[in-house]
C-alpha cells in the first residue's frame, strides 16, 4: 500500500523516515490489515452469517430512517452517518479489500 492510501485512510499522520506513525504506533500492512483476516479467506460460516446480518440490519435501519425523517434532511443525514460507522464493528477496508475484525 502506498503513502497516499495510508494518508487517505488515516487523515493527518506524521511521516518519519518513510515509516508512518499514528499516536506513536508504527503502522504497517502487517498490523493494520492482516492477510489472514481478508473476507475472501474466511471459512467460518457462522462468522460470515453474523457479518451479513449485522450489515443488513444497518441497511434496514437506514431505510427506516428514510421514513422517519422524510421532511428533515439534516436529522436524516446526522443519524445515517452515526449508523454507517457501525459497519466498522465487524468489517474494515483498506480501500481495496475487506477485512474481518
pLDDT tens digits, residue range 10-64? 444 344 434 444 444 444 445 456 777 888 888 888 988 999 999 999 999 999 9
Phi, psi of 20 (to 5 degrees): -95, 140
Cβ atoms of 97 and 33 within 8 Å: the answer is: yes
Residue 8 has pLDDT above 60, yes or no: no
Model's pTM, two decimal places? 0.60
Amino acid at each position: 500500500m502506498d503513502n497516499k492510501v495510508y494518508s487517505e485512510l488515516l487523515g493527518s499522520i506524521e511521516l518519519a523516515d518513510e515509516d508512518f506513525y499514528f499516536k506513536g504506533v508504527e503502522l504497517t500492512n502487517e498490523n493494520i490489515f492482516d492477510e489472514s483476516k481478508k473476507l475472501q479467506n474466511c471459512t467460518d460460516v457462522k462468522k460470515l452469517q453474523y457479518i451479513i446480518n449485522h450489515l443488513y440490519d444497518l441497511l434496514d435501519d437506514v431505510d427506516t430512517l428514510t421514513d422517519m425523517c422524510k421532511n428533515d434532511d439534516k436529522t436524516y443525514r446526522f443519524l445515517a452517518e452515526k449508523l454507517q460507522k457501525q459497519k466498522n464493528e465487524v468489517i474494515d477496508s483498506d480501500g481495496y479489500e475487506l477485512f474481518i475484525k
